[in-house]
Structure 1
């Protein structure tokens, strides 16, 4: 029975006192148990079970039906902070509503993802908001404020930001290290987290799987040195799933799990997400670490105190006072309208030669074609749809079903083997039992089913729709809409409504083999094909008891796979051309399936649109020049030829439950599009750096530094109206700059405009950004109306991280403030003078030089100086180079000292004088030792350092002493 007289139950006491009281009442075993994601109840004190982690990226995920909003990158494309705040509020309310029905739903939500969209080939681009830290911060602050709620004491939900830190690759994501120089760290990656934490609506962060500068994020000293110094509020750090074990199993950073667990706990991880709901493994490791003296009880208490503080803030112990504890609703009329509003605002009009808007009128017919024309795609972090609106649905509703012609454009194929034709047996009505209220097959019921009969080969052929999603990865689907899938028993069945799951079981590859006779096959080749199942790596084989994939031990042998002839009964481009020729205007809907070729665990290989989809828009345009291309995707494409050829292009992220309705309203002109690109759209793969190159300054990445000509620039987006900007005015007011301008709608249509404000130093030094977003505002203006906009810009926004002095610096000088409709469409400028003392050269005699504080580098990588703290620099190959500009040696130095580990050499060159210091190696990579050589120099000079071999340079120091004559 709960004792309500205990101090921790007293709502009149501050949370801190109540937390301390409850903490001291818990036994050691009870405290250790709380460190796992699934904390058990403490019945003697009346505490219920608690779990950290509820996915809520763009709606409640993984817990059944919920309102599905546009993907996060689509929310970023709205550039509308207030809209996103309302979405956060709606999602938070639905979390509460689901919690009232199902205690498995947690109130600690793992959202939003604030990793910056640095590289467009990153598989998880759909989860972030933008490539820019300021825009990402603004959207993240808005979403977390909505999730958190406005009550000063209690939280609606407790948001955790993902994924700390510098995480933009799925390739080798648990073993790859992001080399992040201090400027990039402070100006770019930390910024995305910092503003949201300082805004007070964030409950914590989740470290990423990767390493940063050679050290796993789950033992990052930055959790203490940065994150927890940004706020006095208690923050919880929740590990990513399985990451604590990765410290030993894949990263081999520690020898034992006890060492790894202790290091993570001491670094600041509070909640361990590992081994699913089985907490015994992790709690056992914590007990063993305690027994071995690797941690003490105070380390455990620190983490438990943070977790208890989180639970108090969520009202767990004050249900009668918690303003969010009452029954809430989901799928309300307001939430449905909000989902549609968000989908409409996320649409970006990339190009329009006057074809749009396409208002419905008598006799007008519209062909909607393409592989996503009748699709409403979900991603890994979506909830289950209560409502579905594909482009075809939306266009039929808006233009009238009788005026809409449809052709998907999938190739229609039949597969033949020596035993006959591949066929899908009748399911005896079982598929119908899995249909939901609106007739859609429930993927939770169909995917992985083993009660349906497997495919066979016989006299009757089943025609299948073949879609090539790029890179040779394809899906096969029956006329009834059921995808071929492989269940745990290895048999192939038509049993999935959509591709999905952690390991997608609905994707295949066709591998050509030598001719086996028979009709011409795919692409006209007289060759057979083996069918490889991507999910298992096994080849599809026809056996007496049905079609299956090879067993695990046989998957490497292609000879075990059945050889099929692929007979194409209709090519998709032919169907598209017929539909296009029969219509007034064609809407081609292309893009990606969020579970295929770019998602969590898988990066993209190219910016190119898949060849099958290229053929479709070309066939449509040949048949009908009035062709619009709509790209519905989680990331950018390099559609250079389409942009040059077609009269109109649009892009939208997968827009959730109202995507089709929203698109139709934009096409028809009911809504003027005003979404803006949250990422640079590059013209080709040649514009991209290596995926693992995190030095955005040195490799000139993102709109901040890119010196080429993009296909579409950051912030780009057109409308159906015209807007003029007055000349902006700028005035310094102590620590802020007030920028004012008027935006006027000079067109005939009511529309939104997104005014954007950028800054740049007129005489930039030290590789400052070419342009930098410092403000944005989305406003709705009636035709002919204008509005005066003001931006209050902190002067610090003009600054950068000064590696020479280890601080944030705003250099004095002239700065240009540029207002416009995109980063490239500038309509007016103002200038402001910032006064003050310049930072000056490096005082190397007093401070020395940290190796990672370079100004330029070639062929180097930043590594960990020790397992707990510090950076060093090592050659990425045989030799690497560092440049340190403007080093002040004052009256003179007589020697240089290098602190380094590893084995190799360090050559230091100043004013044409070089010394080469051998580093003979010590007792491992962290055995940093000092080596000194004579080097006489005075005055201010650049310092160049060449690194060879396996050396790990940590620090340079210079011994004072006048230069000899």
Structure 2
């Protein structure tokens, strides 16, 4: 194509702006073709030469679900690096591998559904591993870096197009498709929206994915926040992709709409542009869109809006300009640079929680390494397939020499005896097809998962000794001596046929249930008991009339894990206990944790190691925090599952080749009692996260130790225009080169409303040689210190003193100073002019926020229809008010008082049959002609299931 030979159609002309090209292409598409574009799997338009397209490619910490790829640390581990440059480079590597894999396999998509920006508000959330931090500032900094790497640095074309997950206030797997997060305005703006906003405003985000849950009683997939907030943050066309199956949930599980046509239309009008539903089958979504068009619920112009956003992404990805796409020939895949980056990221993610001097280890140290994760390199649901792997044991062998390392897994070894006196027997792998073994005859676990041609377990005179691992809450895995996990396939037989537990429904977990004089073995995935028959071991059939009798097993312990630990630890110089979780068990997508405690089996192993050798180091490898007693442990480390280089990285940190500098991205609480309810999203009212928590954490947000020491000095600050300039110096006063993560926090000294105890403003990770000093300078926009003023319904900078805190964690403050800021003075609520929106409360108890209508607005109601209390502070009644009106729907009572005094007005609604959105206005005068003058706190009591939308006052 040349300037002299223009393309035959404008949408193919790279000289034109994307907007004009999209206009042209839209004008050429038929209504049916536009309708087809609304499904995740967009068909080709052959008459225009347009290829098929699909939204969605998982790439949370490497390309996932598409085969071998470089696997980086889990997202929470990337958050623990506090290193935006590193994370940007990880995103760049992931996007290059996405492009390289796309060149080989067209199923690999360039619209990547990453990163997860949900804040790690609650550490029991099953998907904790997917987020970066509990803090919105750190989350947005890391997410922005990752999206910038994914996007690439070309001014026009994108290497991949990242979509942020999961909009909005999504921190529970329990009832995740039906639960509603009650999010008051201050929490909405200051917490949940903030992480998304700052990432979108940075300019490398192609869109968002709504979450399964509801917010304030309204499903996220029909949220007005998409229009009212998200799309106001950028001039780019943002693509909103539904989560899988969520469009159907609007009717089938949430019952928010009566028909799928209504639900689909509402989602499109709210801003959903691509429907991820029914897998590759687009027919049902297409039929629903067509039905909505036929009923007049949608117009072709509505479809144009959605299709335009999709095409905007496709044009930015260079699809229509292959000759000009700078990334078209990207072939970087599993390169030495990517392997080195995976190791660097794993090293930087390691957090040294405690060290009484036992670390780093000398080269001649004799090490006993124990624990069920000591020789594991665990993957999670969003991991790619490992090309390389390094377990802690392998890393220690490599770094210290195999002759100096002793190993005991420390799990119970058991036999399962049947009522007939036989034992469960695992046939050897060679009993199956030859493909199970690799070129050198070694077992190839990757070829085992899901196989049904392997022989099932049998009952035999001589049993197979199984490794029994209790992952907590009675959930077990059973593993054959050659490493194969017992698993149940679709035919119901139990085989040793999995390299690891995994899958959407894990088929490798069991429970032992006491029964008579033995145990029943229940398979968790199917919920059925294991039976033993002539055709092998299987789970009992679902039909009671033909069900095989469950087997009653006698559990014979051949060796207890604690005994194995004692055998290898007593003569060692140091014991390393590697504990933690399996990312597919007891805390994962679809399943929240129930406790912060380590599983009992791992606690017993840790106690046994400590009793045998006081020099016991605990290395926690987990997707989330734990609560544990570290008082008698000389050293404790934590890392998320660190990807392909996890073992090498841990060994290098233990040896002192690398000084640890990871920092906790979330609070580690000391006890379950410190946690709010899983569904309590009011971080302010419930004093959640380091921002508000008033207890003593086990380890605070931002905590992490080093093999070096650092001194801080010279803190100074000044305000110029709308920017706060802060600087201080850091000096490495230790004797090794090390990284330090300098953290700058602020605190409003005398706020008019509850503000964070301290709040992260900025951070920087720097490398310093012994004796080296550096000055760090930060430019902080003053808007970073604003709060959401309920009286004004907008952001406001409160005037007065603000403390600036510089240090090594949120609690390890080394320097502090106070800066006096000008701002806008507070003003009471002008209730005579504006009244009070029900959800704009300052305090509440027993109240939840619900949807005012299905399309917009909030209301409040007493939780479970009982009694709730609301407080609205500093309400200005001017010269006086004698009457109150309320806009309510449903049946119940509203009682009003001022300043906690007696009830001044009672308003009763009996409209119980009119529906939750049929609002009526009720009025009443204050008792005995009372006149409210001046400024007061308004107290409301709600009784019954009514919804309160608004309160008004008049003279």
Q: 1:374-385 to 2 correspondence within 5 Å?
A: 374-385=375-386
Decide whether the 8 Å contact of 2:431 with 2:454 is kept in 1.
no
Secondary structure in structure 1 of the residue aligned to 2:113: strand
Matches of 1:555 and 1:231, distance apart in 2 = 62
Counterpart position of 1:95: 98
The whole-number CA distance in structure 2 between the counterparts of 1:800 and 1:591 is 38
Residue of structure 1 in register with 2:568 after alignment: 579
Does 2:665 match 1:665?
no
Does structure 2 retain, via aligned residues, the 8 Å contact 1:123–1:170?
yes
Task: Give the drift of 1:291.
Answer: 0.4
Corresponding residue number in structure 1 for 2:591:
602
Q: Aligned partners of 2:939, 2:813: CA distance in 1, in Å?
A: 39
- Please give the secondary structure, in 2, of the residue aligned with 1:903: strand
Instruction: Specify the alignment match of 1:25 in structure 2.
Output: 28
Q: Which residue is equivalent to 1:224?
A: 227
Matched position secondary structure for 2:115: strand
* Equivalent in 879, 882, 897 of residue 894 of structure 1: 882
Shift of 1:545: 0.7
Matched, 1:46 2:36: no
Q: Aligned partners of 2:454, 2:174: CA distance in 1, in Å?
A: 36
Distance 1:425 1:711, change over 3 A: same
CA contact (8 A) 2:445 2:484 kept: no
Contact kept in structure 2, 1:727 and 1:829, CA below 8 Å:
no
* 1:76-131 deviation per Cα after TM superposition (whole angstroms, max 9, x unaligned): 00000000000000000000000000000000000000000000000000000000
> CA deviation digits over 1:38-78, x for unaligned, max 9?
00111111111100000000000000000000000000000
Distance 1:435 1:856, change over 3 A: farther
Q: Which residue matches 1:953?
A: 948
Is the deviation greater in 907-916 or in 923-932?
A: 907-916
- State the secondary structure of the residue aligned to 1:728: strand
Listed one character per residue, the Cα deviations across residues 747-785 of structure 1 (whole Å, up to 9, x for unaligned) are 001000000000001113311111100000000000100
Q: Deviations over 1:225-246 (max 9, x none)?
A: 0000011110000000000000
Which of 907, 918, 923 aligns to 1:932? It is 923
For 2:77 and 2:530, how far apart are their aligned partners in 1?
38
Contact 1:538/1:556 (<8 A) preserved? no
Aligned partner of 1:500 in structure 2 is 502
Q: Structure 2 matches for 1:421-436, cutoff 5 A?
A: 421-430=423-432, 433-435=435-437
Cα deviation digits, residues 702-731 of structure 1 (max 9, x gap): 000000000000000000000000041110
Q: Take 2:445 and 2:49, find their aligned partners in 1: how far apart are those partners?
A: 39
Q: What is residue 633 of structure 1 aligned with on the other side?
A: 622
Residue from 605, 608, 614 that aligns with 1:619: 608
| 1:235 match | 238
- Deviation string, structure 1 residues 405-450 (Cα, Å, up to 9, x no partner): 0000110000001231111123435376235679886665322211
TM superposition score normalised by structure 1? 0.96
Query: Hey, what's the Cα distance between the residues in 2 that align with 1:186 and 1:567?
Result: 57
Task: Give 1:833 shift.
Answer: 0.8
Q: Tell me if structure 1 keeps the 8 A contact 2:413–2:466.
A: yes
Cα 1:433–1:154, aligned 2, differ >3 Å: closer, same or farther? Answer: same
Deviation at 1:544, TM superposition (A): 1.4
The number of equivalent residue pairs is 942
Partner residue in 1 for 2:869 = 881
Deviation, 1:554, is 4.2
Distance 1:726 1:313 in 2: 47
Within 2, Cα distance between the matches of 1:443 and 1:883?
60
Q: Which residue of 2 aligns with 1:591?
A: 580
User: What is the aligned partner in structure 1 of residue 758 from structure 2?
Assistant: 771
Q: CA deviation at 1:837?
A: 3.3
Measure the CA separation in 1 of the matches of 2:594 and 2:524. 16
592-601 or 759-768: bigger deviation: 759-768
Q: Distance in 2 between matches of 1:25 and 1:266?
A: 23
- Alignment match, 1:904: 892
Gaps in structure 1 of 5+ consecutive residues:
516-527
Rounded to whole Å, the distance in 2 between the matches of 1:183 and 1:565 is: 57
Distance in 1 (alpha carbons) for counterparts of 2:126 and 2:277: 23
Q: Provide closer, same or farther for how the CA distance between residues 720 and 326 of structure 1 changes in structure 2, counting only shifts above 3 A.
A: same
Equivalent residue number for residue 341 of structure 1: 344
* Structure 1 residues 204 and 556: CA distance shift in structure 2, 3 A: farther
C-alpha distance in 1 between matches for 2:274 and 2:943: 41
Matched, 1:487 2:489: yes
Is 1:123 matched up with 2:110? no
Shift of 1:910: 1.9
Question: 1:265, 1:106 → 2: CA distance?
Answer: 23
Moved more, 548-557 or 293-302: 548-557
Q: Which residue of 1 aligns with 2:857?
A: 870
Mapping of residues 23-422 of structure 1, within 5 Å: 23-361=26-364, 364-419=365-420, 420-422=422-424
Contact 2:151 2:159 in 1 (8 A): yes
C-alpha distance in 2 between matches for 1:105 and 1:67: 15
Separation in structure 2 between the aligned mates of residue 589 and residue 103 of structure 1, nearest angstrom: 40
Q: Aligned to 1:919, what secondary structure does the other structure show?
A: strand
Match of 1:520 in 2: none
User: TM-score of the superposition, structure 2-length normalised?
Assistant: 0.97
Q: Which residue of 1 aligns with 2:552?
A: 563
Q: Against the structure 1 CA distance between its residues 438 and 140, is the aligned structure 2 distance closer, same or farther, given a 3 Å change threshold?
A: farther
1:764 partner SS:
coil
SS of the residue aligned with 1:729? strand
Is contact 2:429–2:436 with CA below 8 Å preserved after alignment? no
Aligned partner of residue 902 in structure 1, secondary structure: strand
The change in CA–CA distance for 1:725 and 1:169 in structure 2 (over 3 A counts) is same
Matched residues in 2 for 1:370 and 1:3: separation?
A: 67
Q: Structure 1 residues 405 and 721, CA, compared in 2 at 3 Å: closer, same or farther?
A: same
CA distance in 2, matches of 1:813, 1:440: 70
Is 1:653 aligned to 2:640, yes or no? yes
1:914, distance to aligned residue in structure 2 (A): 1.7
RMSD value, Cα:
1.5
CA distance in 2, matches of 1:439, 1:888: 82
